[in-house]
Each structure stands twice: as C-alpha cells, then as structure tokens.
Structure 1
Amino acid sequence: MTDNPPGYELADRIALTEPSQVKAIGHPLRTTILQLLHERAATVTELATALERPKSTVAHHVDVLARNGLLQVVRTRKVRAIEERFYGRTARMFYIAAEPSQTASSGDFNDFEVAARESAAAFEEGRLWGFIRHARISRDQASEFWDRMAELVDEFERLPRSGDTTYGFAVGIYPTAHPTLPDTE
C-alpha cells in the first residue's frame, strides 16, 4: 500500500495500553482532531478554524493528546517572532490493547456511540449503509477476523483525500447474548 499524506513519518499502529490514553481518545473533540490530522499536520490555529472552536479550547485538547503520545510536533515555523508548531499523529491507527476493564470504564470510549451520533443525519437522508451479523465462533477466530478488519480500516484511512463529503467507517466485533440454536445431536 502506498503512503499517502500526512507528509511526515509515523507508525502504522500504536497500542493504547494506559487508561489515560484511552480516556484521551474518548472525548469527541479529540477524536475529531485525530481524524483531521489524517490528512496532514496542522497548527492549533488551523484546527481551531476547522472545528469552529476557540484556540484555547483546541490547544487544551491538543495538549492532552500530545501528553498521551497520540500527537507530536512534526515541524515548526517562525511567524512574527513566534514559533508556530505543526502537530501530527504518532500513528495511522490507534487500538486498545488491554481489556476495557483494565483501561477505563466503558463510558470513556465507545466508537459505536460516536458512529450512531454521526450517522443519524445520513440515516434520515437515506444515505447510511450498514450491516450487522452474528456468528458463533471461537475467541481465536474473532481475533483473526479483527486483524483482517484492522487491515481494511487501514486501507480506508490511506485512501487519497478527494471529493466533497467526509464518510465515516465503523467496524467492530463483540461478544453478545444473541440467541443460538442448540447443538445437533
């Protein structure tokens, strides 16, 4: 797969193992900042403009992400005697490596809650595509399947930026109490 922007060196994947890291990405504004930085490095001013939020608010959230190893300064430039910092992601993809009970409470991070909120308007407009399927499989099979899904997410994130619409892509695998047929005799 070819490297697309953001135009600086970064890891393909980083495992989030600390509760503070999981909590850092659990905030919707910080998640949006990370998504914006998929395209290229940006200053706090550029991020504040894109997010239509005060620079001080954005600077706080950028600082939280940087302190937790999710963002880094990738270059600087002088602007009227002030050094302006460009922030970039430290990895294309972040994933939670530990069991959620070992990292943070379930309310701190839920991609599906974010996806549900973001997709409501698309649903109303008839522009939401989705599937849900259930399969009784082993934990090892679920893990192998998840690795394949992570590759697909990586492919999605590396697509060249074009078009007028930003699309969300949500994927997950989770244990459920979905009913199952009894084993055959």
Structure 2
Amino acid sequence: MATNSAVPDYELEETIELTTADQVRAISDPLRTTILGLLHERAATVTELAAAVKRPKSTVAHHVNVLATAGLLKVVRTKRVRAIDERYYGRAARMFYVGLGRQGQGAPLPHDFNDFEVALKESAAAYDAGQMRSQIRHARIPEEQVVEFWRRVANLVLEFDQLPRSGDTTYGLTVGLYPILDYPTLPPAAED
C-alpha cells in the first residue's frame, strides 16, 4: 500500500476564517464536507469526485461550484484531455473555522451547522461495532482559559489533519467546546 507523505499534492493556506453566512452554509452540507475531506489527500476532478462519492457528475459539479464560489475550493491545475482542459480542484486551506468575528454581524449560523450531528451519523456503525473512542468532560472555567485551551485543541486538530494518508480506514476526529447553560453548580463553599 502506498503512503502519501505530501498531503495534499498542491499548495494551500493553513487556515481560513469563515466570516460570511454563505461560507458557513457551503460547509454545512454533508456532501460538500465529504468533497473537502477527499481533497485533503490530493487534487481531483469533478469526474473523480463523482466516482468517489457515487453521485452524478452534475450533482458533484454543483456542489464544487458552491464551494468554489464561497472561496473554499480553487482550481490548482489543469490537464488537456481530448481538446478539453480538465480542472483539478483543491482546498483553499487545510482547515476552515467559523471566526469569532462573525458574532455581532447579524448573520446566525445555519441551523444545520453542527459537526456533532455529522459525527453522530458517521460514528454510529463504529459505536455498534464497539470501535468508538470518545470522552466527555465538564469544567467550570473562565473565558480566558477557554480561549487558550481551544487554541491548543486547534493545534492538535491541525496535527491530525496533516498526518500522511495511508491505511485502509478513514477516521473522524470531532472536538467541541461549548457552554452548558443549565449545568448545575455548587454554591460557594461555606466559611469555616
């Protein structure tokens, strides 16, 4: 089995902050996130992507166009095939994130933008087979610690993202840090 150590096979930015509702909507579709995931390995044509996801070429072309219009995909090279220039698409960045700068812009996240919902669907078979690895913890901490902790988590996700592609199984990594508005807390300790 070949190992691809140059992941992917084209130049791209490390991160791009998603600041518009159109960008967030573009990545909230499961087929589009699958396309973005496939392009982590190498650039691909619409035909190759359609074969990989077992969907009509026209459907995949539509989704590629949505991603390209949102600035998340770009043509990274072309190849002349029987008098036609075939376009190879690649990601604009290794990692996309919804920026905090979106807050206060009046454009809420789409209701279907939830990585945990995607992870739930993707992980169901692994859970049923006893191959699910997960943990959940709760901590009451100040906002400054949240920001620092999330920066460290983002670096770990980037490390995972840059691993050479090999093996027979694709693994998903989902992380989240979220406020729990109704989690119980103890009252302040009584003075002795």
TM-score by length of 1: 0.95
Distance, in Å, in 2 between the alignment partners of 1:111 and 1:100 is 22
Match of 1:16 in 2: 18
Number of positions where the alignment pairs a residue of Structure 1 with one of Structure 2: 183
Partner of 2:126: 122
Q: Percent same amino acid at aligned positions?
A: 62
| Matches of 2:47 and 2:108, distance apart in 1 | 31
Task: Please give the alpha-carbon distance, in whole angstroms, between the structure 2 residues aligned to 1:159 and 1:63.
Answer: 28
User: What's the offset of the Cα at 1:118?
Assistant: 0.5
Structure 1 unaligned runs (5+)?
none
RMSD over aligned Cα, in angstroms? 1.5
Asked if 1:79 corresponds to 2:67, the answer is no
Instruction: Show CA shifts across 1:60-92 (max 9, x none).
Output: 000000000000000000100111000000000
Quote the Cα distance in structure 1 between the aligned partners of 2:42 and 2:74: 12
Cα distance, 1:179 vs. partner? 1.4
Aligned to 2:149: 145
Query: Which of these two proteins has the greater Rg computed from alpha carbons?
Result: 2
How many angstroms apart in 1 are the aligned matches of 2:108 and 2:168? 36
Paired residues of 2:21 and 2:109 also in contact (CA < 8 A):
no
C-alpha distance in structure 2 between counterparts of 1:89 and 1:164, whole Å: 23
Please give the TM-score of this superposition, normalised by the length of structure 2. Answer: 0.91
**Cα distance in 1 for residues equivalent to 2:68 and 2:49:** 14
Trace 1:1-185 onto structure 2 (pairs within 5 A).
4-97=6-99, 98-99=102-103, 102-176=106-180, 177-185=182-190
CA distance in 2 between counterparts of 1:105 and 1:121 reads 28
Q: Residue 148 of structure 2 aligns to a residue in which SS?
A: helix
Q: Could you tell me which runs of 5 or more consecutive residues in structure 2 were left unpaired when the two chains were aligned.
A: none
Distance 1:67 1:15 in 2: 15
Contact 1:22 1:108 in 2 (8 A): no
Q: Flag as ranges the 4+ runs of structure 1 deviating above 4 A.
A: none
